[in-house]
Structure 1
C-alpha cells in the first residue's frame, strides 16, 4: 500500500524543475503540464475534458468534501490555465474544449490578468486574535490588564476575546506568558500591500482592481490557490515552430535553473523560438539612461529620485501615491527597452517575455511591443512537456546578451550598483533600498515627498522580497537564485 508521504515524495521528484512547497502548487503544476503536453500532441480539444477525471479518478482520496467537487474546482483552474476569466463565465456547462478553441483563435488577453476561483475560496474568517487551549487562566492575567479595549474576559479558567470589541492591536499576544494567543490571518489580505482585497456578502474574496497593482502576492499566499493568473502558455505553444518568435528572457532566469544561461538559451531554441534575447541587455540600457537622468535631476536641484524598473511599484505610485510620481525615473523598464529594440530589428516577429512576475503580464498588455508573457512556472512546464533536460543541453549564446550590470538587476541592490557605477560621485552613500512592498515601506514612500531632508538621493524600490528573484512565479528559492545570478554577474563583462 502506498503511503501518503510516499506519494508526496514521488510528486516532488516528478516536478523537480519547479518549486513545489505544498499540495496546492503541486496540483497547479500537474494541471499546467497536462495542458502543455496535450497542446504539443495536438490533442488538447479532445483531452481537456478528461483532465479533471485523470487528476481525480474515482476511488482516489479527495481534497474537499468529495471527488466531484474536486473535479469542479479543477475545471475552473483549467479555465484560467487556458487563459479564461472565471468571473466572465455565463454558461456553467460550457465545455473546456470551447475555452481551448478560444485560446487557439485569440491574439491577446483582456485585462485584468488575475481571476478568482470562487469555488476554491473558503471564505476565511476575518483576521483576529484567538485564545488557544494553552491558556492557563493564570493569576497574573496580563492580557486583560493590557487590552486597551477591555475586550478580554475570563470564563472559567480560560481567557476569551470578544470579537466585536477587539481592535486587533495584538498587545494581548505580546504579553501572554504561555504564548496561548495566536493571530489568525486571512493570507491573501495579509499579503496584499495596498488593501486591494475585500470580501463579498458571502465572505468570498473580492479584488478591487482599481487598487490592485498586480503584484501577485495574493496568488502566492492563498493556501487554496483561489487567486490565479490567466495563462498565455497555450497561445505560445501553438505558434512555436510556425511563427517567427523572439524569447525575451528576464535577467532573473539565470537563477531559476541549475544550468548555465547558455543552456537555457539553447533550450528556448530547441522549443522553437527563432531568437533568444536577454532582457538584461535592456537593463544595461536602463542603467545608462537612468544614470543620465539621475545626474540631470541632481543638477536641477531635485531632492531625490526613485527607480522605475518594477511595474508593480510604478502602479503603486500611480494608484496610491500620485504625489510621488514626479520623483520616479522616466526611463522605463528593461522589458520595454528590450522589446522596443526587438520590434525595431525584427518587425515581423512575435515578442514573448519570460519572467518571474505576474505584474509583467499586465505590463505586456500595456505595451504594443510585447505580444505574450510567460512566467518561469510556465516556461519550466514547457521544458518538461518538450522533454528537455537542461543539464543535457549543449549551451549556445543568446542572440543578444546582457552585461554584468544588466544581469545583476533581479537582485535587490542591482540597479543601485548599476547607477553607482556611473554616478558614484553624486551618491556618496546616500541611497536607500526597499526590497519588498508592504505596509511599512508604503508609509515611507508616502512620506518621502513631504520630507524636507529625504534620507537618500536614490531610492531603489522592488515589490518582491530580495528583488525579482523573489517574484510570485519563480521556480527557485530566493537564496539559491540570488547566488546563481551573482555567479553569472561575476563572469560577465560590463557593457
Structure 2
C-alpha cells in the first residue's frame, strides 16, 4: 500500500527528498518525485525535509470519524511519546480531550510494550540467538527485510508494542471494538494495515499532527480539560520506550540475568552502519535497540513538533515516566506475540560496463575528471546516479553540472547567433560581457572588449541615464555613426548586478529600404505631375483648335442658310 507520496503540482526540481533518502526509495519521472513502495521503509524523513510541503499522507481520519459516527466502541492506543509531544498540564487531560471527540476508552501503548519487554527477557535468558535486534520500529524491520535480509535471523521474533497492544485490547473487551493507534509514526500504518502477518490487531492509525488539528477544529483546549484516568494499569518503566535506550532500561528493570552486551542505536545512517558491520559477522552476543528516528519515537515525522528540541522532549518523557519498576497487572498470556520475519530483498537490475558508459556519456561524463561527485542530484557519486538513471529511478536532467552546462550552452548559442549587438555594462561604464555580433561591429575580441569602456565605442548618454535612474529604454531609434549602423536601442537595468543589458537591433537595411521607397514615391509623384501638366497643355490646345473650327463652321453654315433663304425670296 502507498502510505506517503508527493503532490505533482508542488514538487519542483529541488531533489532534497532524494538527497535525504538513505535507501533511495524515491524515483523522479518527468521532473516529479514519487515514492517507490517496494523500496520505501516509510521512515517519513522525506516529508520532514520537503521545502514545498508537497507531501501526501494516506490518512485514516475519515475512517475513524466513520467508526464514531456509527456509534462503535473505538479505543485509542496512545503512544508513550505523547509525554514529550502533546501540550497539557496533566496527562489525564489528554484522556478527556480524546473522549470529548467520542472515543470510548484511552489506553497507553506502553501497556503492549510491557508484554514485548517480557518476550525480550525470555530471548535474553534463553541465550540461543547469536545477536538480537529489537523489532519495535517498523521502519527498521522493513530496512532489514528489504536491504539486509541476511540479518533476518537476528531479528527478535516478536511483534511490536502496537500490535501487542491492539491484540490485548481486543482480548480484554471481547466484544466488537475498533482499535485506533495515536502516535508520531507514519510507518505504523504500513505495519498495522499493510502487513498481513499482523492484520486485524489495529483498525486505523492517527498521528499527533492530525489529532491536534482535530482538537483545534472542535475548539477543544487540552489544558482546560479534566484530568481523567487511563483505562490501563501503569506500564511504569515501559513508558520509556520512545526515548533512546528506553527498551534497554525496561529490560534492566527486571531481575533477568544474561550475558548480552546491550547498546541502543538511533538514526537511519547509524542503523545502516550497524547492519553493515553485522553482515561481516564480527559482532557476537549483543542486544541492539534500534530506531530509525534520531532520538527515538519522540522525534517521529508526525509528532507535530519537529522544531522542538530533542533534549527537551526526552527530558519531558523521562520526567513524567516516574516509575522505573517492572510493570505489574498487565497479563497477556492469551495474546500471540510471535512474528516471523522474512527476506523481502529488493532486486534492481545492475547495468553492464557498456550500459554504464552509455549513461555516463549521456550525462556528459566522458572521463573520470568529468565525474564531479557533487551529490546535488541526491546520489553520492556520478556512477551511483548513472545506475539510478539506468534503473529509471532518476533522470539525466537531475545532474546540476549537466543542467548548468546545458543552460550555458543554450544561452551561448542564442547570444552568438542573434543578429543584435548585446552588451552588459556596469555602473562604471565598463563592458562586462558582449556577444559575437558586438565584437564584430566594435572590431575587438571579447578579451579586449572586457578591458574597455562603452564610451570608447558609442555615445553613452542613454546608458548613463538608465544606470542613474533605473528607468528602462525600449526600442529607441538612433544612429551609431562609429559603427555605421542605424539601430533600435533597448537598455534594461539589472538590479542584482548594478549593471545594464544593452541591445542594439540593427535596422540599417530597413532604414535604407524605407529611404529608397520614399525616394521612389517622390519620383513617382514628380512623374505623375509632369504627365498631368502635359495633359493639361494638350487639352488646352485641343480646346483652342475646337474653338476655331467651331467658329468657322458657324460662319459657313450661316452663310449657307442665308444664301438659301435669299434665293427663295427672289
**1:254 Cα deviation (Å)?**
1.6
What is residue 245 of structure 1 aligned with on the other side?
A: 74
Are 2:294 and 1:465 aligned? yes
Contact 2:121 2:256 (8 Å CA) reproduced: no
**1:487 Cα deviation (Å)?**
1.4
What is residue 86 of structure 2 aligned with on the other side?
A: 257
- C-alpha distance in 1, partners of 2:273/2:86? 36
The TM-score with structure 1 as length reference comes to: 0.61
| Residues 21-65 of structure 1 deviation map (CA, whole Å, 9 limit, x = unaligned) | xxxxxxxxxxxxxxxxxxxxxxxxxxxxxxxxxxxxxxxxxxxxx
Question: In 2 relative to 1, CA 388–294 (structure 1 residues): closer, same or farther, beyond 3 Å?
Answer: same
What is the correspondence of 1:422-441 to structure 2 with a 5 Å cutoff? 422=254, 425-427=257-259, 430-438=261-269, 440-441=270-271
| Residues 164-191 of structure 1 deviation map (CA, whole Å, 9 limit, x = unaligned) | xxxxxxxxxxxxxxxxxxxxxx321122
What is the correspondence of 1:334-413 to structure 2 with a 5 Å cutoff? 334-346=161-173, 347-365=175-193, 366=195, 367-413=199-245
Question: In 2 relative to 1, CA 223–427 (structure 1 residues): closer, same or farther, beyond 3 Å?
Answer: farther
SS in 1 for 2:321: helix
- C-alpha distance in 2, partners of 1:427/1:251? 29
SS in 2 for 1:251: coil
What is residue 307 of structure 1 aligned with on the other side?
A: 134
Contact 1:198 1:205 (8 Å CA) reproduced: yes
Are 2:105 and 1:275 aligned? yes
Contact 2:93 2:226 (8 Å CA) reproduced: yes
- C-alpha distance in 2, partners of 1:370/1:379? 17
The TM-score with structure 2 as length reference comes to: 0.53
What is residue 415 of structure 1 aligned with on the other side?
A: 247
Are 2:72 and 1:205 aligned? no
- C-alpha distance in 2, partners of 1:431/1:494? 18
| Residues 200-241 of structure 1 deviation map (CA, whole Å, 9 limit, x = unaligned) | 2x2221322111011111111111122221111122224326
SS in 2 for 1:459: strand
Are 2:273 and 1:443 aligned? yes
Are 2:2 and 1:112 aligned? yes
Cα RMSD (Å)? 1.8
SS in 2 for 1:419: helix
Partner residue of 1:327 out of 154, 160, 164? 154
What is residue 121 of structure 1 aligned with on the other side?
A: 11
Contact 2:250 2:326 (8 Å CA) reproduced: no
Q: Which has the higher contact order (CA 8 A, sep 6+)?
A: 1
What is residue 562 of structure 2 aligned with on the other side?
A: none
Q: Which blocks of at least 5 consecutive residues in structure 1 are unaligned?
A: 1-110, 125-185
**1:492 Cα deviation (Å)?**
6.9
- C-alpha distance in 2, partners of 1:375/1:401? 24
**1:400 Cα deviation (Å)?**
1.3
What is residue 426 of structure 2 aligned with on the other side?
A: none
Question: In 2 relative to 1, CA 361–217 (structure 1 residues): closer, same or farther, beyond 3 Å?
Answer: same
Contact 1:403 1:492 (8 Å CA) reproduced: no
**Once structures 1 and 2 are overlaid, which stretch shifts more, 230-239 or 354-363?**
230-239
- C-alpha distance in 1, partners of 2:233/2:250? 17
Question: In 2 relative to 1, CA 441–363 (structure 1 residues): closer, same or farther, beyond 3 Å?
Answer: closer
- C-alpha distance in 1, partners of 2:158/2:99? 31
- C-alpha distance in 1, partners of 2:259/2:93? 38
Contact 2:75 2:177 (8 Å CA) reproduced: yes
- C-alpha distance in 1, partners of 2:255/2:158? 16
**1:248 Cα deviation (Å)?**
0.9
Contact 1:280 1:401 (8 Å CA) reproduced: no
SS in 1 for 2:75: strand
Q: Which blocks of at least 5 consecutive residues in structure 2 are unaligned?
A: 328-570
- C-alpha distance in 1, partners of 2:278/2:258? 19
Question: In 2 relative to 1, CA 493–261 (structure 1 residues): closer, same or farther, beyond 3 Å?
Answer: farther
Larger Rg: 2
What is residue 148 of structure 1 aligned with on the other side?
A: none
**1:424 Cα deviation (Å)?**
6.3
- C-alpha distance in 1, partners of 2:56/2:91? 29
Which ranges of 4 or more aligned residues in structure 1 deviate by more than 6 Å?
A: none
Are 2:101 and 1:291 aligned? no
Question: In 2 relative to 1, CA 329–363 (structure 1 residues): closer, same or farther, beyond 3 Å?
Answer: same
- C-alpha distance in 2, partners of 1:121/1:345? 46
What is residue 217 of structure 1 aligned with on the other side?
A: 45
